[in-house]
Amino acid sequence: MSALSANTDGLRRRRAVNRLMEAIATAAAFAAVVVLGIMVVSVARRGGAAIDLNLFTKTPHPFSFTNQPSGLANAFVGTAVIVGIATAMAVPVGVLSAIYLNEFARARVAFLIALALDVLNGVPAIVVGIFVFALIVVHHGQSALAGSFALSILMIPLIARATQEVLALVPQATREGSLALGVSRWRTTLGVVLPQTIGAIVTGTTLAVARVAGETAPLLFTSSIVGDRLQWNPHLALASVPLKIFEYSESPDPADHARAWAAALVLISFVLVASITARALAARSRRRMGLHR
């Protein structure tokens, strides 16, 4: 009798522990979602209140604490130029490395290159900034091109891994079928295999753009000493949205804070929309390739 009651007591305790742990796990997941919610709502509220057309059409007013119209047109242009050039540099290198990794390299070589790409992905962005500073800026001064190079270093591993993962999913029979028809290997790779991964390349590139569009650290030492004029020339250091947010966030002028929130709203909208779209595309192309994950 006593054994039985002890047993039910034990069961009750075990069930209580179970419920407690389940509650903790549920609370943790909701806490993360709530933090994201709070962050997005505060950016949307404060940024939404400060956003206007001037933000996109005017350049920063040279003085703080004025009511003159002021905007960040130069920063938006600068970010577009820097990220655009970075993408143009990173996509070919990323995609070609992925082709080598998946189509040509032997297992051991592929292992090492994939490891190197993953480790490159883990190098802190600020260290990449210092690297480009030492490589280029020390000799040629700051420029948008130097900034682009720094960002492209962050993009290459992302694009390469995204492409390679999908290349690995292309059925071997596709390659063999093409080769059996007498098509040469390089035309099989470029004409038959690669087109099947276009979706993944676009997705990987979009995610990489979303990631680097908000990167500040690599630009601090490569494209930060800028004026307030609107410039397109990539040989000059250009203003950028994340760096402007960084500067304004440490400014004493509340109007600067307002502009920082407005710019943050634009940036976060771009980044979130881009990553959600990329994810949706990735999920669709995965389903089409018959992979349910």
Partner 1 sequence: MATTSPSLARAAELRRRGRFHPGDAALHGVTLVAALGAVALLALIAWKVVDQARPAMHRFGLHFLVSNTWDPGVHQVFGAAAFIFGTAVTSLGALLIAGPLSIAIALFLTELAPRWLRGPIGTLVEMLAAVPSVVVGLWGILVMGPFVANHLEPWLKHTFGFLPLFGGDPSIFGLLPAILVLTIMITPIVSSVSRELFLGVPQDLKEGALALGTTRWEMIRGVVLPYARSGIAAALILGLGRAVGEAIAVTQVIGGNVAIHWSLFRPGDTLASRIASQYQGATTKLQVGSIAYLATILLVFSLVANVVAQAIVRKVARRQPLIR
Angle at 281 between CA 278 and CA 283, to 5 degrees: 110
The stretch near partner 1 (CB under 8 A) out of 36-44, 196-204, 228-236, 284-292 is: 36-44
Binding-site member from 190, 195, 232, 291 for partner 1 (CB under 8 A): 190
State yes or no: residue 104 binds partner 1 (CB under 8 A). Answer: yes
Contact region with partner 1 (CB under 8 A), list: 54-62, 79-87, 120-128, 197-205: 120-128
Minimum distance of partner 1 from residue 224's CB (angstroms): 6
Among 73, 75, 86, 156, binds partner 1 (CB under 8 A): 156
Question: Rounded CA gap, 67 and 75, in Å?
Answer: 20
Q: How many CB atoms lie within 10 A of CB 125?
A: 18
Q: Which is nearer to partner 1, 198 or 280 (CB)?
A: 280
- With CA atoms as reference, report the closest residue to 265 among 216, 196, 214, 195: 214
| CA nearest neighbour of 82 among 188, 257, 241 | 241
Binding characters for partner 1, 203-242, by CB under 8 A (x = yes): -------xx-xxxxx--xx--xx----------------x
Q: Is 119 in the site for partner 1 (CB under 8 A)?
A: yes
* Residue 80 binds partner 1 (CB under 8 A): no
> What's the token pair of residue 164?
């390679």
Residue among 153, 200, 236, 262 that touches partner 1 (CB under 8 A): 153
Q: Work out how close the CB of 179 gets to partner 1 at its nearest, in angstroms, rounded to a whole number.
A: 9
> In whole angstroms, what is the distance from residue 213 CA to residue 98 CA?
23
- Shortest distance, CB of residue 122 to partner 1, whole angstroms? 4
Site string for partner 1, 40-79 (x = CB under 8 A): --xx--x---------------------------------
Nearest Cα neighbor of 240 from 268, 258, 215, 266 is 215
Binding part of the chain for partner 1, among 52-60, 67-75, 78-86, 101-109 by CB under 8 A, reads 101-109
**With binding defined as CB under 8 A, does residue 96 bind partner 1?**
yes
Residue type for 134, please? A
- Residue 100 as a binder of partner 1 (CB under 8 A): the answer is yes
Give the residue with the Cβ less far from partner 1, 232 or 286.
286
The Cα–Cα gap between 243 and 58 comes to 17
- State which residue, 23 or 68, has the beta carbon closest to partner 1: 23
**Could you tell me how far CA 251 lies from the centroid of its own chain?**
27
* Dist. CA 175–CA 73, nearest whole Å: 49
By CB under 8 A, residue 282 contacts partner 1:
no
Query: Which residues in 121-140 contact partner 1 (CB under 8 A)?
Result: 121-128, 130-131, 133-135, 138
Residue with the two structure tokens 């242009």: 77
Contact 241, 86 (CB under 8 A): no
Of 37, 41, 68, the closest CA to residue 259 belongs to 68
Alpha carbon distance 98, 114 (integer Å) = 9
